[in-house]
Amino acid sequence: MNFKLSEEHEMIRKMVRDFATKEVAPTAAERDEEERFDREIFDKMAELGLTGIPWPEEYGGIGSDYLAYCIAVEELSRVCASTGVTLSAHTSLAGWPIFKYGNEEQKQKYLRPMAEGTKIGGYGLTEAGSGSDAGGMKTTAKLDGDHYVLNGSKIFITNGGIADIYVVFAVTDPTSKHKGTSAFIVEAGFEGFSVGKKEKKLGIRSSPTTEIIFDNCRIPKENLLGEEGEGFIIAMKTLDGGRNGIAAQAVGIAQGALDASVEYSKERVQFGKPIVANQGVSFKLADMATSIEASRLLTYQAAWLESNGHSYGKESAMAKLMAGDTAMKVTVEAVQVFGGYGYTKDYPVERYMRDAKITQIYEGTQEIQRLVISRMLTK
């Protein structure tokens, strides 16, 4: 047993923290206000190798592991949760299923440019009428010669409109509920593909979330990912790992909020002393820090398990559950520590609070995490 991170992991943390401080933080508030994605930041992440952290060098990655990837998402999210989720969706939701289920050609053609960061990835599972109940999916894919023809639409697509490559799920056999779903790799340039409405959101506003539409969208047969009927399994397994990324995002948001609160409460003087000298404030900070530490350990454990080939489904659900709840609680408390100033856009804590809420919802709501965990425990 050894809880210490390796030097490689510490180096990645330092590198990403420097990058986040210099290149991401300065514009975070402005991008949030303007709901603006900045491709330049993504390009700079690509230069540093952050867009392909866990993928082997033969596929354009840097050959590190999922723990390093989670550390990167955490550090980005500490200053800007939108940037964190852009990387998380790109890596966990688009890169992972291609890495795990793709054939060699698909990996070279799609995973490599994503890992190198010349292309951005997205993931299309959710539909208007099917969220966690992926079995209720309506988008269809019909084989027509050497193409599949996709019809339907997907909503709440992270990186929607900015992604070049999407992993998309559609029904190939309507007679079979789960086994009738298949996964496809769809290029944004394919005929019949279009980007629909962009959501106006409470938080993570500089990460675009859109609808994507398939109107007789023709997909070459070789872009089927895995086997026909394997889609449901691919979707569920992808979400297991995606949860690690979101847990890391939540830890980052919470840590950012705590750091801001510690700094402010040391400076803010009332009744002749810094407010942190009051137990009413310092005990709050202690509770915030303790929950963050618990969440971080759960997140790193899940990522470590995945990196080392152990099963991690239950642990990633636990990590996401605790980290999401912690991010929400901690950011609400951070606004409280800042008082009236915390309610304004002059300080980042109101943004953290808005951003935190999504971590309790996407990649499976907290209720779905509890369902996943309780089912595993009461089997």
| Nearer of residues 70 and 167 to other proteins, judged by Cβ | 70
Residues 6 or more apart whose Cβ sits within 8 Å of residue 312: 240, 241, 244, 302, 303, 305, 306
The CA R_g of the chain, rounded to the nearest whole Å, is 21
Only segment of 15-23, 93-101, 284-292, 345-353 that touches other proteins (CB under 8 A): 284-292
Q: DSSP readout, 204-241?
A: -TTS-EEEEEEEEEEEEGGGEESSTT-HHHHHHHHHHH
Q: Could you tell me the end-to-end alpha-carbon distance of the chain, in angstroms, rounded to an integer?
A: 29
From 15, 289, 332, 361, residue interacting with other proteins (rule: CB under 8 A): 289
CA distances to 92, 235, 257, 312 from 242, in Å: 5, 10, 23, 12
Asked if 104 and 58 touch (Cβ cutoff 8 Å), the reply is: no
| Nearer of residues 266 and 345 to other proteins, judged by Cβ | 266
Q: Does 305 engage in binding with other proteins (CB under 8 A)? A: yes
Q: Does 285 engage in binding with other proteins (CB under 8 A)? A: yes
Give the C-alpha separation, 53 to 64, whole Å.
6
Give 22's DSSP letter: I
Least CB distance to other proteins at residue 266 (A): 6
Q: Does 322 engage in binding with other proteins (CB under 8 A)? A: yes
3-state secondary structure 25-68: HHHHHHHHHHCCCCHHHHHHHHHCCHHHCCCCHHHCCCCCCHHH
From 262, 334, 353, 358, residue interacting with other proteins (rule: CB under 8 A): 262
Least CB distance to other proteins at residue 322 (A): 5
Residues 6 or more apart whose Cβ sits within 8 Å of residue 239: 363, 364
Report residue 156 as tokens.
């709440």
Only segment of 87-95, 184-192, 249-257, 295-303 that touches other proteins (CB under 8 A): 295-303
From 198, 266, 273, 345, residue interacting with other proteins (rule: CB under 8 A): 266
Give 343's DSSP letter: G
| Nearer of residues 175 and 279 to other proteins, judged by Cβ | 279
Q: Does 321 engage in binding with other proteins (CB under 8 A)? A: yes
Q: Which residue numbers are catalytic?
A: 363
Least CB distance to other proteins at residue 303 (A): 9
Total binding residues for other proteins by CB under 8 A? 43
Q: What's the angle, vertex CA 140, arms to CA 127 and CA 96, rounded to 5? A: 65
| Nearer of residues 211 and 306 to other proteins, judged by Cβ | 306
Q: Which amino acid is at 32?
A: D
Binding-residue pattern over the window 4 to 43 for other proteins, x denoting contact by CB under 8 A: xxx--x----------------------------------
Report residue 75 as tokens.
């550090």
Q: Does 67 engage in binding with other proteins (CB under 8 A)? A: yes
Only segment of 33-41, 79-87, 177-185, 362-370 that touches other proteins (CB under 8 A): 362-370
Phi, psi of 19 (to 5 degrees): -60, -45
Q: Does 367 engage in binding with other proteins (CB under 8 A)? A: yes
Q: Does 297 engage in binding with other proteins (CB under 8 A)? A: yes
Using CB under 8 A as the criterion, which residues of the chain lie in contact with other proteins when the complex forms? 1-6, 9, 67, 262, 265-266, 276, 279, 282-283, 285-287, 289-291, 293-295, 297-298, 300-301, 304-305, 315, 318, 321-322, 367, 369-371, 373-375, 377-378
